[in-house]
Structure 1
Amino acid sequence: MDNSPTALFDSYESDFKQIIHSIRDKLEGDAKDVGQGEQRKAALRRVEMELDEADEMVSQMEIEIQGIPQSLRPSYQSRIKASKADLTRYKKLSKDLHAQLSRAELLARPGLPGTPTSDEPYGATSDRTRLLAGTELLEDGSRRLLESQRIALETEEQGADILRSLRGQREQIQNARAIRCIPLSSSLQRADTSIDRASGTLKKMIRRMYQQRVVTAAIIVVIVLLILVILFSKLVC
């Protein structure tokens, strides 16, 4: 058995090269075969598992290099760098093949809305359908806007009620102070703090409501513009 300080490193590197060779064969073979969908999927799954194994081998090599003498370490560091470059390249290639397979499956999937067919060469989604969908979106946006306005008004009313209640409590404290002649500055300060805090919270709530109203109005404007574009293109054609 080889007990040299580089023996384990060499062993891990050898395993890494074997795994990379297997990955390369799969990526250039079954995983790249456009005509075999299921076979490509299986090959890519095996590639993913082998990439994980190769990554583990690189990690072990990085651990073992710590025990290699300083005089030998630079050359082994270069070998690790080369191994990482190979691993990165094949990870990218695997990712690209995954993306190609996903696009191919999406394009080949039957019954997608708007996909041209022999019966409907311009797609299943007609101008009338798009117009109706835009109208529904416009109505839904209008309902959302009205609901936001209603919530904002209710929030304002609730905020006003809370402020009136807090002011009433403050007046009661002030009256009690005047009658009993007992210093209640700390109570008044707490009441003032509560009022300020409540006012700030209510202002934030109202500001959020107005922001939601603006966003909803912007969505409605975009939908209206989309409908106008569809109508204009319909009239021009």
Structure 2
Amino acid sequence: MSADFQGYEQDYGVLTADITNRIGKIPKLAGGESEEKKQMVMNVEKQLEEAKELLEQMDLEVREIPAQSRGMYSNRMRSYKQEMSKLEADFKRSRIAYSDEVRNELLGDDGNSSESQLIKLREERAHLLDNTERLDRSSRRLEAGYQIAVETEQIGQNILENLNQDREKIQRARERLRETDTNLGKSSRILTGMLRRIIQNRLLVFVLGIIIVITIILAIYFSFRGH
């Protein structure tokens, strides 16, 4: 694993720890519209964006790792992304959560606010929490879809690598076949030449045999004729 990934990983750990700490403070800040609370929310939003950018950089680094060694780091990335989804969900809840002081500001410290206002407030809070849960589920489904896409891409890369290896093997086999065919052609020409010479030698022996027989017959003939 490269040093870049380790650096991103350390930065991500420090950043998420700070985000978690700030998210826990948001509901406790006085007044939903106070400057301190607005600034805290803005800071957390910026930090979440920085954390997402770090995750993207880490994801790119993981993709550069050979497929056979990528599994462990892919699991770590999956955990980091799940942690990011949880941080975003906690941040949304912290922004809509009401502290005791905010609730008192809405209902009045004297306790004379009507019960219907309190019920309405609880219903609105429940509705917001329900929407947050739906967003969380949607985020998890998107994350699962993204993970499937990444795994599919990895499988596709492995298949392409296997196909390239098979193609190279086929090309090497074709080259060997061509060499074998060339060698067979040379052997065929050599055998043809040898066969031609054998036939020529046999014809020469046959002709020499006829000449010898004729010579012997002529010698015998002239011998008898002389007597």
Could you tell me the TM-score, scaled by structure 2's length?
Answer: 0.42
Higher helix proportion (structure 1 or 2) = 2
Could you tell me the TM-score, scaled by structure 1's length?
Answer: 0.40
